[in-house]
Chain A
């Protein structure tokens, strides 16, 4: 298996090279087959890794070559698959494969079909490097690579200026976070003398807690950028400018969970830094509630899902901050299933509606798009925490961990965020698929269910969203596989210690039952009440100008974009104008231009000597000779 390991990331890279270089001349069907086929190969290899790791938890490693050797810094281009990496690899390649297949249908009429698949494959390659690297530098490679692909794919329809601006916004926001990650890496190297996970984690015992706290906070800044947490979350909703499969793959299922992966990978460090953990928890919870409130009043089907993603990521960080790393990874997994499902189903709706994204112009799609409706329903129920669906289990674990570590108030706030999830998701579901059709007659005529190539991945994801929760059932339910994922992650890492040690939760069984009961009861009540609420026409979302009071604030995203605009964008623009006019035009250009003008003026004087009269030259020559001659005597 060690020899085959490099194939996992390099198969998608091959797909990228082939599609990127020759895709324009290849038929679309072949481009699609290459794009998804390489990914299927990577997925199968990942499954083989998974099997081997299931039998023996020792990580599979493969150092390709010495990448960098400067002074005390030795960095190998090393790939590995330990139990945490392989889990991410399965999500990335598995969900990624389904989304590739879906894209064949979704992007079929697009000019840049081959380019789209090339970018997607490059993204998968980068993401695999990120999760498979044996050191922080490899992670950083992947980290930057996915950022680049995210930029390319958000701005995929680059003729639209707004989309290009959204792409730049995402890139710049991510760069701010990347700076934190980079500084964290510098500090890690300065403190531990290495960037290898194995060395760093082994030396963690004797490290100064204050330094470790600083490292954790810096790494978390990186995670904030990539995983869209306050204050760097505003790029993710704008990232919905990209094609919908991109939103599903990159901005919901995989890339945005890189921050979670980073923190989970470094759980040993965060365990040493309670202060950093508290910061992670506070930021996560705040993001979760804040963006859920915004999500309540959005009317773009993809924007609602985007804010929902940020909110769910916030819950994952809350879980990380509470020390429940397995719960966070569990939620990453289930979230990848149902959020990819929801996005792809939304894509199917947009496809059927001919590009319409505003839910106020939809309604009643249940009859026209039955498959999409049913999978969307499953996704909504799963994310809302409907009993026994996947989101129910993963969220319940997060809530229980929050209660155990943080107490009732933390639990209450987290549960409120979960409640809001149910509210905005049910609103989205009922407004879109129930009631009467509100679009134009042309749209109604055009309305159709998507082709099989799109609906089959939806059905697969729907099944996963239903059963995904069984991966890590709580012990008190006695379903026979209790805490399977927690045991899986307690396998050995590269430094010989458990990747995520098994944590004991000190809660009574009755308390756990109660917490679970309250949360799921709330979710069910919301799902039912919303149905009756939004099936009445007078409760439908109103147009932007009619928004009032608090809901206007929600609809305008708490004016955070305007605030950032005022605080950062405008001062930067003002500063750059000053630099433009005074430093660049007046200063630098002035030096160059005035030097040129000076030389020109001097030439103007000297050119008078060259009047073309030969006698004049001769007189000059003789006079010069006489002067030289005289100077010898003087």
Chain B
């Protein structure tokens, strides 16, 4: 298993993570649908996870993978809270469009 993973050069993992992360960032910035925004945040987190796992394997250091579990736990909690907020927003505005959330203005 380790060999299989190591057949792929580490640059590919880095490049792939960067692409995933950028897609996540662009999604957060461009999309207005709150559900998509949340998913894009997950995407960014997982891009980081992938990178951590890859380097952990190449360096034979398990601390990186330990970190991944932490991030997954936080991401799960964050998704739960985020979705909860989302439901409340939907109940109030009948929409998941985040650009409508400008009540604090003026």
- Residues in A lying within 8 Å of B, measured CB to CB: 610-615, 618-619, 622
Q: How far is the CA of A504 from the CA of B29 in the complex (A)?
A: 112
Identify the 9 closest CB pairs spanning chains A and B, nearest first.
A612-B105, A612-B102, A614-B98, A618-B29, A619-B29, A618-B28, A622-B25, A614-B101, A612-B104
Interchain nearest-CB distance for A284 vs B (Å): 79
User: What is the size category of the interface that chain B forms with chain A?
Assistant: 10 to 19
Q: For B29, list chain A residues within 8 Å (CB).
A: 615, 618-619, 622
Q: How far is the CA of A613 from the CA of B103 in the complex (A)?
A: 10
Which partner residue on chain B sits nearest A619 by CB separation? B29
Which partner residue on chain A sits nearest B32 by CB separation? A615
Q: List 25 A-B contacts (CB under 8 A).
A: A610-B105, A611-B102, A611-B105, A612-B102, A612-B103, A612-B104, A612-B105, A612-B106, A613-B99, A613-B102, A614-B98, A614-B99, A614-B101, A614-B102, A615-B29, A615-B30, A615-B32, A615-B98, A615-B99, A618-B28, A618-B29, A619-B29, A622-B25, A622-B28, A622-B29
Q: For B101, list chain A residues within 8 Å (CB).
A: 614
Q: For B25, list chain A residues within 8 Å (CB).
A: 622
Interface of A is mostly: helix
- Contact mask for chain B residues 64-106; partner A; CB cutoff 8 A; 1 contact, 0 none: 0000000000000000000000000000000000110111111
Q: For A618, list chain B residues within 8 Å (CB).
A: 28-29
Q: For A610, list chain B residues within 8 Å (CB).
A: 105
Q: How far is the CA of A36 from the CA of B48 in the complex (A)?
A: 96
Q: How far is the CA of A619 from the CA of B28 in the complex (A)?
A: 9
- Contact mask for chain B residues 18-31; partner A; CB cutoff 8 A; 1 contact, 0 none: 00000001001110
Q: For A612, list chain B residues within 8 Å (CB).
A: 102-106
- Contact mask for chain B residues 27-47; partner A; CB cutoff 8 A; 1 contact, 0 none: 011101000000000000000
Interchain nearest-CB distance for A614 vs B (Å): 5
Q: How far is the CA of A407 from the CA of B101 in the complex (A)?
A: 104
Q: How far is the CA of A619 from the CA of B26 in the complex (A)?
A: 10
Q: For A619, list chain B residues within 8 Å (CB).
A: 29
Which partner residue on chain A sits nearest B25 by CB separation? A622
Q: How far is the CA of A618 from the CA of B26 in the complex (A)?
A: 10
Q: How far is the CA of A610 from the CA of B103 in the complex (A)?
A: 12
Interchain nearest-CB distance for B52 vs A (Å): 17
Q: For B106, list chain A residues within 8 Å (CB).
A: 612
Q: How far is the CA of A108 from the CA of B32 in the complex (A)?
A: 87
Q: How far is the CA of A615 from the CA of B100 in the complex (A)?
A: 11
Q: For B32, list chain A residues within 8 Å (CB).
A: 615
Q: For B99, list chain A residues within 8 Å (CB).
A: 613-615
Interchain nearest-CB distance for A371 vs B (Å): 84
Q: How far is the CA of A612 from the CA of B102 in the complex (A)?
A: 5
Which partner residue on chain B sits nearest A625 by CB separation? B25
Which partner residue on chain A sits nearest B103 by CB separation? A612
Q: For B104, list chain A residues within 8 Å (CB).
A: 612
Q: For B103, list chain A residues within 8 Å (CB).
A: 612
Q: How far is the CA of A133 from the CA of B103 in the complex (A)?
A: 75
Extra contacts besides A612-B104, A614-B102, A615-B29 (18): CB < 8 Å: A610-B105, A611-B102, A611-B105, A612-B105, A612-B106, A613-B99, A613-B102, A614-B98, A614-B101, A615-B30, A615-B32, A615-B99, A618-B28, A618-B29, A619-B29, A622-B25, A622-B28, A622-B29
Q: For B98, list chain A residues within 8 Å (CB).
A: 614-615
Interchain nearest-CB distance for B38 vs A (Å): 13
Interchain nearest-CB distance for A612 vs B (Å): 3
Interchain nearest-CB distance for A238 vs B (Å): 62
Which partner residue on chain A sits nearest B98 by CB separation? A614
Q: How far is the CA of A171 from the CA of B43 in the complex (A)?
A: 84
Q: How far is the CA of A338 from the CA of B29 in the complex (A)?
A: 101
Q: How far is the CA of A613 from the CA of B105 in the complex (A)?
A: 9
Interchain nearest-CB distance for B68 vs A (Å): 21
Most chain A CB within a 10 A radius of its CB, from B29, B98, B105: B29
Interchain nearest-CB distance for A542 vs B (Å): 78
Q: How far is the CA of A610 from the CA of B28 in the complex (A)?
A: 19
Interchain nearest-CB distance for B51 vs A (Å): 15
Q: How far is the CA of A618 from the CA of B32 in the complex (A)?
A: 12
